[in-house]
Amino acid sequence: MKKILLVAGIAMAFTACKNETKENINANDIVINDTIKVDKSFPASVAGVMKAHGGFEQWNKMNNLCFEIDKNGGVEAHTTSLKDRKAKIEHKDWTIGFDGNDAWLLENEKGSYEGNARFYHNLMFYFYAMPFVLADDGITYTDLPETEIDGEKYKGIKISYGTDVGDSPKDEYALYFDPSTNQMVWLGYTVTYNQGEKSDKWSFIKYDKWQKVNGLMLPEKLTWYNVENGLPTSERKDMLFSKVTATETILENKIFARPQGAIVVPK
C-alpha cells in the first residue's frame, strides 16, 4: 500500500514539472547593463547579482521549482512551492515532505531513510535556489571586502538572519561573485541546526556551471570543496541537477499533504 501511495504522489507532483528547454550559460555570456535598477529592499550588490541571474522580478513570477539529483543510492525528485516553501522530495525508498507546518517522512520500509528529514526537507532547494533565496524576509546583508579564492578575486556579501527566522537562524552565508559580470561563483556557509551558538566552521560550494530555465540562470552543477583556514582548497564532490523546471503554475496543497503512514518529524 505504501508503494502505491508513493507512486501516486510522484505522478501528482510532477504534473507541473515538465521538462523545459535549457541552455548552458558561461560567465562570458552574461552582459550586465551599465545601469542596474536596484530594488528598494536590496543593497546594490545583491540586486546586481540577482539581475545577472535573470532578475528578482522574473524569479518572483515563478510559483514552483522542480529538479532531480542522483543521491543517497537513487534519484531524488525535489518539488518546492516557492511562495509558501511547501516541499516534497521523492526517492524510490522514501518520501519527505513539508506541508507548511510539519515536516513528514514516509518510508517504504522502516529505516530506509538515514538522516534528519526535518533538516533535509529544504536543504538542497536552498543551495540550488541561490541567489534568489537571498530575497527572503528577515535577512541582513553586509558587503565583504574583496577576497581571493583559488587565485581569483571576488566581491562578497555576508548574509545573516533574524533570531526567529527558520529552523537555523544562526546560520551564516557568504556569497562571492565575479565583479566583472556579477555572476555568483562561490557560496560559503555554516551549519548550526539544533545548536545553541553560531559556528565558525565554514563549508564552500563552487557554482561553476549554469543553465537557463524560463528566463532564470540556475545551477547545473555544484562542487563542494575541502576547506583549510576558512577557504576552499580542493574539490571534494560534485552534484548534477537535471529535469529542472521553474513555472508560474500554483501547485495544489494536496501534493504536500502528509499521506497515510507518514510520521511527523520533530524539530
CB-CB contact of 93 with 74 (8 Å): yes
| pLDDT attached to residue 35 | 35
| pLDDT attached to residue 2 | 39
For residues 267 and 259, give the distance between their C-alpha atoms in angstroms, rounded to a whole number.
19
For residues 148 and 181, give the distance between their C-alpha atoms in angstroms, rounded to a whole number.
16
| pLDDT attached to residue 137 | 80
| pLDDT attached to residue 157 | 95
| pLDDT attached to residue 216 | 98
| pLDDT attached to residue 197 | 56
| pLDDT attached to residue 200 | 76
For residues 18 and 64, give the distance between their C-alpha atoms in angstroms, rounded to a whole number.
12
List of residues 6+ apart from 40 with CB closer than 8 A = none
Q: Please state the pTM of the whole predicted model.
A: 0.83
**Left if phi > 0, otherwise alpha if psi is -120 to 50, otherwise beta: which for 230?**
left
Alpha helical stretches, state H, 70-204? 117-120, 123-128
Please write the tens of the pLDDT for every residue from 79-110: 999 999 999 999 999 999 999 999 999 999 99
Place of cell 538522516: 115
Per-residue pLDDT of the chain (267 residues; tens, 9 = 90+): 434 444 444 444 444 575 443 444 433 333 333 333 434 468 899 999 999 999 999 999 999 999 999 987 799 999 999 999 999 999 999 999 999 999 999 999 999 999 899 999 999 999 999 999 988 888 889 999 999 999 999 999 998 876 554 455 567 899 999 999 999 999 999 876 555 556 678 999 999 899 999 999 999 999 999 999 889 999 999 999 999 999 999 999 999 999 999 999 987
Sheet containing 86-90: give its strands across. 242-247, 64-71, 74-81, 86-90, 94-98, 103-107, 263-265
Give CB contacts under 8 A, 24+ apart, made by 101-108.
102/258, 102/264, 102/265, 103/264, 103/265, 104/258, 104/262, 104/263, 104/264, 104/265, 105/262, 105/263, 105/265, 106/2, 106/5, 106/6, 106/259, 106/261, 106/262, 106/263, 107/2, 108/2, 108/3, 108/6
Please write the tens of the pLDDT for every residue from 148-166: 999 999 999 998 876 554 4
CATH 1.10.150 fits 25-60+122-242, yes or no: no
